[in-house]
Structure formats: C-alpha cells, structure tokens
Amino acid sequence: MKKNLSIALCQLMNSSSKNDNLSRAGKMMELAGQKDIDLIILPEVFNAPYQSDLFPDYAENYPGPTTDFLARTAREQGVGIVGGSIIERSPEGRLYNSCFAFDEYGNLLGRHRKIHLFDVDMPGRITFRESDFLSPGNNITLIEYQGIKIGLLICYDIRFPELSRALALAGADLIIVPAAFNHTSGPLFWELVLRSRAVDQQLYVAAVSPAPNPQANYQAWGHSLVVDPWGKIIAQADQKEGIVWAELDFSANEQIRGEIPLYRHRRRDMYEIIYQTPSHIESRRKNK
C-alpha cells in the first residue's frame, strides 16, 4: 500500500446554473492541480442547488454531462477525482444522490448512492425531506486508488457508525464524505461527528462541504476538513470558497491501531443485542 496521499478539498459555492457550477468546479480543480496532488474531492450536489424540490430538474443519467466532465478533467489533469455528488437518474427513472469517483485516467472507480436520506424536522430551525424525491442506495462502497482503500459516504451517512465500521472492517484507510451540513446541524455536529468517526474507526476522514451561497434557500455550513486517526483536525476551511490541501500519512493508522488495538478488543459476542427486539433483550436479561 502507498503510505501517503496528497488530497485537495474544493469547497465550491453552487448556484442555480449548472453550467456555471461546472465552470467554477473546473477552474478550482485546475488550481488545485497546480500542486503535486493525487486526489481532488468535490462537495455534495456540487452542480446544482441543494433543494429537494429542484432535484428532478437537475437530475442526470450516467453517463451524462457532469460525469463526462469529471472523467475528462481527471484524464486531462492526471489526477483522481471524487466527484462530490450529483442527482442521478437511473434507467428505471429513480433519483439518487450519487458520488462518482474516477482514477487519473478517467476510468470509473466506483459509484456510491446515498444510503441514509436526510429527512429531518427541527421546528423553527430546519425541515428537509430528501425522500420526497430521492431513493436510498443499497450498497456499501469501497474503492481502491493507488493501493489505498477509500470508503465513500454522503453527508447523513456519516451519522451512522455501523456504516463507517463496515468500511473499516473491509479495510478502508480513508473515508471521504461529500456533505452539506447546514447552519443548524453544522455548529452542533460537523466537527463532532467527523472527529468521532475518525477516532471510532482509527482512520482518516475527509469531508467536503459547499460554501454557503447567500442567495440559496439551503445554507451549507462550509468548514471542509480533514481529520487524522487520532481525531485531530489537520486541515480546515472557513466558510468561503477555497481549497484545502492535506498530506495523509497512513502509517498513522497503523500506529494508533497498534497502540490502542480496538479491533482486537472488540466483543462481537456482545454486540448482537443491538439488533434484537426489546422483547428478546428483556428475555435475555431474565435468563441471566
């Protein structure tokens, strides 16, 4: 396995114009590529407004204009790209929030469809329902790039530790999360959740948010960041458009797993209780 990976997180401000969004993304990726990097990462729904009732208007088939643009950019710049996410229309007509990743030759490495849809109601703060328009994905996505295993999640997926653990057990060295937390969830949970997943799974986490657009209905939090396996934020943006560069040294994964061997100490015999019904749990307690 390669021991290091240089990454660039492109925190873009998206608008209602898909062409403008792709142009801005292209310019920022070109700027990111002026440094010696291996992988560029874009935000969630980087080519459209993050507004659920508009998702059908911006949906694309695969292959389509945005994925063609990502593959071409990867090939021309000779760099891998995790293309944030777009609204994908399947051949059956279903819509998904999908992340497409490409290698430095423009070949598709993998596609992750968001598994956990963001349906929340926080009275007086935010109400949002992705499931009114989107279908959930049903596959856990692990790709390999330059010998490094990368788990792909999208935004709300990161809130479910079982999913991150599944990726870690499958060998993930890094989890990448295109995400669009908002001005309610961002201050409360952004750093907390991302640092927690890095510590829980003892690996790197890189999360890329859009920059907030004052004209948009949905205000993204920004603050794209990279967390090391010790839970330390090693690179972070503010709320403005910009690029965050980071150098990942995967010997840190090996070090923390050697010093604090969580995976050897797991009690799998105890965890089955998580998925039992309350009546089964109560019965088990009575039998002890």
Q: Which residues are catalytic?
A: 44, 114, 155
Compute φ and ψ for 46, nearest 5 degrees.
-75, -15
Number of other residues whose CB lies within 10 A of the CB of residue 212? 22
8 Å CB contact between 205 and 198: yes
How is 96-162 classified by DSSP, letter by letter?
EEEEEEE-TTS-EEEEEE-SS--EEEETTTEEEEGGGT-------EEEEETTEEEEE--GGGGG-HH
Compute φ and ψ for 40, nearest 5 degrees.
-110, 140
Number of other residues whose CB lies within 10 A of the CB of residue 128? 20
> Does an H or E element contain 197, and which?
helix 185-201
State whether residue 81 is helix, strand or coil: strand
- Give helix then strand counts, H and E, for the chain: 9, 15
Cα separation, 275 vs 288, in Å, equals: 19
Q: Which two tokens stand for residue 111?
A: 């596609």
Cα separation, 57 vs 110, in Å, equals: 24
Number of other residues whose CB lies within 10 A of the CB of residue 64? 14
